[in-house]
Chain A
Amino acid sequence: MRFPLLRFILKRAGLAILVALTVSLISFSLLFLSGDPATAIAGEHASDQDVEAIRRIYGFDRPMLVQYWDWLVSALRGDFGESYYFKLPVASLIMDRLSITMTLGVCGISFALLTAVPLGVAAAIKPNSLIDRLALFLSVAGQAMPSFWFGLILIVVFSIQLGWLPPSGTATPLHFVMPTIVLGYYAMPAIMRLTRAGMLEVLSSDYIRTARAKGAPEGLVMFKHALRNAIIPVVSLAAVQMGFMLGGSIVVESIFALHGAGYLAWESISRNDLPTVQALILVFSMFYIVFTFLADVLNAWLDPRMRAG
């Protein structure tokens, strides 16, 4: 029992490292394709000599693979270098920005789960009822509405009209309320639909009928027997959504001026800030890998059959 699990973990970890390396090599080459880094760093008002000097100082005149190798060796030693743009250590820059993104991601996914799962369950218990219709409406609206638009509507209502919430920034917990709703709402529809579909399927299965037949209380049937089984795919989905939120909250971070890691990644790409982009890509791909792994573990805990496999 112990050895298969260990082998499973080692295999997953090895695969994860390969994925991370491939992603970082691809992104490294894509950055070179998207434009000359020396020109981008030099800025608009630089002369040809400035650009040449920068090319020499940063070593962009060397073959790309050599540059990648150099980056990789330092990164393995934990040295992510200095941001070309900010002239600050990449590690501290990313830690600073990541704390905001993590806060936002955790709040966002919690909001999504806390609203989507109960709604999905309610919709499944009474299909085609008013609550089911409402849930359907919310999910269609959530999927159809671009987050920048939803964000601005919230700002107009809650900051300008009502004056309850600050429009942008990160100074207080209140600043995170609207970004959480926007980010969470984006992930909500998929989670809700999956919960509803899973619950419907489980509720029509034999063991639920058996549980009801032997007189188990309805609450116990719903939560212990039905939801526990229906939630398994939702956990995997939520893990992916969480990874997406951490790397892809660019729009939300930009609207609410949060200066998180997503926005930093987006801006660093256009600035050709290689060290920052590379480190962020590594971090983001690690997130996906770790969350998928955690989801597997969580599912194994939820479903004893998975533990054996």
Chain B
Amino acid sequence: MKRFLIPATVLALSAAAAHADKSEDVLNVAFTKELENVDSYFNSSREGVVLQRAVWDGLIYRDPITNEYKGNLATSWEWIDDLTLELKLREGVTFHNGEPFDADDVVYTVNFVAEEQNGVKTQRNVNWMKSAEKVDQYTVRINLKAPFPAAIEFLSGPVSMYPNEYYAEVGPSGMGLEPVGTGPYKVVSVDPGKHFVLEKYEGYHDSPKGQPEVGTVDIRTIPDVNTQMAELFNGSLDLIWQVPSDLAEKLEQMGKFTVANESTMRIGYLTLDAAGRTGEDNPFTDVRVRRAVAHAIDREALVSALLKGKSQVISTACFPSQFGCDQDVVSYEYDVEKAKALLAEAGYPDGFKTEFYAYRNRDYAEAISSFLNAVGIDTDFKMLQYSALRELRMKSGTPVSFQTWGSYSINDTSAITSQFFKLGSLDDARDEEVAGWLDTADSATDPEVRKENYSKALKKIADQAYWVPMFSYNTNYVFSQDVAYTPTADEVLRFTDMEWK
């Protein structure tokens, strides 16, 4: 009798602690990283974006599939001039705490986040706005510092509207612990970094995001992907994401889960020291050497053997879906002989030795390194922490480094090409002509002018092989067969698009 007592007790206890699921309308989700602060202006992580889209709303919404802009908290908008955007606000919207939404909330939010002193973490998301002013209760104007055509994209992305009275009272740390928004889900509990519980907001307005279906979303941070899988097998998790491709393949073979793969906006590239920041005699100052590097790498092989899924070979210094990311640029095919010939022509018939840096995806970096070695570029491979490599690149540059950029899911070329080719401290090309075109493209209001100038810049970047763009990233979503969900290409989990089967 005694022998059965222990297992029986354990069973009884574990039943008491059992997970909720479809029958209880609770969707259990795992985050891998500890989120620093739920207040979306004070975090810079993917997990933060996921919560931001669930808890808050922007004035505008971009349909993730058609890329069409639709009104969300604003119903219509109009450029008064290059520096003034007037928006008509939706009436009858209330925040989760009952505070009605109107022009005062927009004015307060914009003025708060645009003030540098308030320390919004990603300044680029907000520092194009100068201020906001109320025209009447449901009309506001946003004033810009300089012409900024990507304004609509930013207003439909990282800029969410906060309740003025509540935010003035609790500030960013209070908002992080007890978030209040107008979004489809309200936050029931926050255990900082560890556990977040969201509940369907019954009073959600008629938003283009759609109405939430799942009653409760329970998010726990589980750092180890193997543990996440165990929880999934156990039934105590319904959805995991960012699953490495080898594990996702195995899970798919089991046939018990739905595995969905979607592209992300992140691209991987090599940046070459064309400007000679690491030394005048640096081989990479010669365009023939840079082109040789481009020919040396079998990007198709990297995608098919390592990245897999919906990753694609990239030839531009931007992600193809981004506005202005002209795909009609020079592409360098994999050709070892051509690479060697170019090196010989540049005066390196026996190749040369160089330092090669990376900060993530060691396996990809090692594969790239062996491609370079194969044409005679002998790499001294160094893997650094992200902040250490960035510091090195800002101070003295690196001859070659493997970098990636996710554009913060902003569907505009200014979020990537302009970040790196406008003579900033991370610009290894330092090409004034390219920087000039990008300046024009970033500030022109005429879409055609923008496209034309981005195209010129991208063509020259490709022709000069300042960067060797290689591939786009993808992410795997694995969920239980009770869940119906189609992920989108921007790496944002949308709980409103999830439902029970």
Contact = CB atoms under 8 A, between A and B. Distances in A.
Interface in B416-436: 419, 424-426
A296 interface: no
Contacts of A14: none
A146 interface: no
A36 B388 contact: yes
Contact of A53 (B123, B193, B391): B123
A156 B44 CA distance: 34
Contacts of A47: 123-124, 419, 424
A155 B227 contact: yes
Interface string B105-139: 00000000000100101111000000000000000
Interface in B226-252: 226-227, 230-231, 233-234, 236
A35 B36 contact: no
B226 A36 contact: no
Given A50-B123, A87-B173, A254 B236 contact: no
Given A86-B36, A165-B10, A272-B387, A171 B17 contact: yes
A172 B192 CA distance: 19
A259 B16 contact: no
Interface in A133-188: 148, 152, 155-156, 159-160, 163-169, 171-175
Contact of A168 (B44, B192, B222, B388): B222
A256 interface: yes
A39 B119 CA distance: 15
Contact of B391 (A35, A159, A164, A255): A35
A172 B234 contact: no
Residue in A37, A43, A272 whose Cβ sees the most chain B Cβ within 10 Å: A43
Contacts of A46: 44, 121-124
A164 B388 contact: no
Contacts of A169: 220
A85 interface: yes
B168 interface: no
Given A35-B385, A254-B223, A48 B426 contact: yes
Interface in A243-280: 254-257, 259, 263, 267, 270, 272
B14 interface: yes
A174 B14 contact: yes
Given A40-B387, A47-B124, A168 B233 contact: no
Contact of B221 (A53, A167, A257): A257
A44 interface: yes
Nearest to B173: A87
A254 B222 CA distance: 8
B119 A168 contact: no
Contacts of B14: 163-166, 174
Contacts of B385: 34-35, 40, 270
B272 to A, nearest CB: 20
A287 to B, nearest CB: 23
Interface residues of B, number: 51
Contact of B173 (A37, A88, A166): A88
Contacts of A159: 230, 233-234
B11 interface: yes
A49 interface: yes
Contact of B223 (A39, A93, A257): A257
B22 interface: no
B191 to A, nearest CB: 9
B123 A255 contact: no
A46 B98 CA distance: 35
A42 interface: yes
A130 interface: no
A57 interface: yes
Interface in B165-218: 172-173, 176, 192-194
A98 to B, nearest CB: 14
B13 interface: yes
Contacts of B227: 152, 155, 167-168, 255-257
Contact of B230 (A93, A155, A259, A263): A155
B42 interface: yes
A55 to B, nearest CB: 11
Given A48-B425, A166-B17, A257-B220, A160 B387 contact: no
Given A168-B222, A174-B10, A36 B230 contact: no
A2 interface: no
B192 A88 contact: yes
A44 to B, nearest CB: 7
B222 A257 contact: yes
A259 B221 contact: yes
Contacts of B419: 47
Residue in B7, B220, B224 whose Cβ sees the most chain A Cβ within 10 Å: B224
A173 B42 CA distance: 34
Interface in A1-55: 34-37, 39-40, 42-51, 53
A265 B387 CA distance: 18
Contacts of A156: 230
B391 A43 contact: no
A213 B216 CA distance: 73
Nearest to B17: A172
Contacts of B226: 152, 155, 255
B391 A36 contact: yes
Contact of A259 (B10, B193, B384, B387): B193
B221 A43 contact: no
B9 to A, nearest CB: 10
Contacts of A51: 394
Nearest to B223: A254
B371 interface: no
A87 B176 contact: yes
Nearest to A268: B34
Contacts of A163: 11, 14, 234
A173 B11 CA distance: 13
Interface in B21-38: 34, 36-37
B388 A35 contact: yes
Please list the 5 inter-chain residue pairs (A to B) with the smallest Cβ-Cβ separation, ordered nearest first: A43-B44, A35-B387, A35-B388, A40-B387, A36-B391
Given A43-B121, A255-B227, 15 more contacts: A36-B387, A36-B390, A40-B385, A49-B123, A51-B394, A87-B36, A152-B230, A164-B14, A165-B14, A167-B227, A168-B222, A172-B13, A257-B220, A257-B222, A259-B194
Interface of B: 7, 10-11, 13-14, 16-17, 34, 36-37, 42, 44-45, 116, 119, 121-124, 172-173, 176, 192-194, 220-224, 226-227, 230-231, 233-234, 236, 384-388, 390-391, 394, 406, 408, 419, 424-426
Interface of A: 34-37, 39-40, 42-51, 53, 57, 85-88, 93, 148, 152, 155-156, 159-160, 163-169, 171-175, 254-257, 259, 263, 267, 270, 272
